Amino acid sequence: MGFIMFKTMLGNTGMEIGRVVFGGIIVMNEEQKDADRFVSYAVDEGVNYFDVAPTYGDSEAKLGPALKPYRAKVFLACKSIERTAVGIRKELLASLTALKTDYFDNYQLHALGTAEDLSVFEEDGALPELIKAKKEGFIKNISVTAHNEDIIIEALSRFDFATLMFPVNWALGLGKGVGKRVEEICTDKNIGFLGMKTLAHRNWHESEERVYPKSWCKTIFDNDKLGICALKYTLSCHTDAVIPPGNFDQFRFSVNHIEECINNPLNDDDIDYLKSMLPDKKENIFAFYQN
């Protein structure tokens, strides 16, 4: 039995997705033939939700051709850090062209993190423009991504977003309690909940070899037990899918172990082990979470 058997409905979107997301950074700075191979592998394994952004280097240019043979049977999500109507319209249309598609299944206001970012709700802000784009058929669902729990809770109170992408990470959750409030809101409102930073561990040490240079922090690549428990933790938080770091090795690790994690969910022994592996405060990963 393979990963293809494990799918879930993503909130109210009507999208039935696999439990692992293919993040566009995986193909960033890769040769096109490798990008094609990574996408082909993902589709063969039952992965059907792909997420990308124009801020991810050349990811759109690589992912568009790689996804073209499969576009009709996968869901494609994109996002933008633009906050104005003019800016987000321009970026949306450019992304459609780069990704060789006529529409996005999901389009997200990306990285809402400050009070100033809430300008997206204003009359000339990005959100009214996305509502217009949805009516025009360019996007099917309007969603949001964030790292700041307080800001995203305010945003979720102002608009019925279809999905939320948020850090659902074992060290943040067990070490600082981050994520529980948004988990409850997403569960209560049936908002699709996508857990990112799943395999993040801690900051890189200054002299440490950066094995996966596309990751700003040290991810879990050298401890299978910790990786599996980390995946279990994210799944235990009522997430619809996990988002591995932006490299193919850890994406494949997540795909290979997702069935085990679903069939053997997080237990007390796993939690005790994760707590024993929490990073020291001086090397923690909390830098990506904005209070």
CATH fit for domain 16-279, picks 2.102.10.10, 3.20.20.100, 3.40.50.2300, 3.40.50.800: 3.20.20.100
Answer whether 16's CB lies under 8 Å from 8's CB.
yes
Strands 75-80 and 7-9: unpaired
pLDDT, tens only, 48-98 = 999 999 999 999 999 999 999 999 999 999 999 999 999 999 999 999 999
Per-residue pLDDT reduced to its tens digit, 206-246: 888 989 989 888 999 999 999 999 999 999 999 999 999 99
What pLDDT does residue 286 have?
61
CA distance between the termini of the chain:
42
Q: Are the beta carbons of 100 and 70 closer than 8 angstroms?
A: no
Beta-sheet pairing, 49-51 with 163-167 = unpaired
Give the angle 167-237-281 at the CA atoms, nearest 5°. 50
What is the model's pTM? 0.96
Domain ranges across the chain: 16-279
CB 116 within 8 A of CB 81: no
* Residue of 164, 60, 61 whose CA lies nearest to 109: 164
Whether residue 4 has pLDDT greater than 70: no
CA distance linking residue 277 with residue 291, whole number of Å: 23
Over the stretch 126-142, which tens digit does the pLDDT of each residue have? 999 999 999 999 999 99
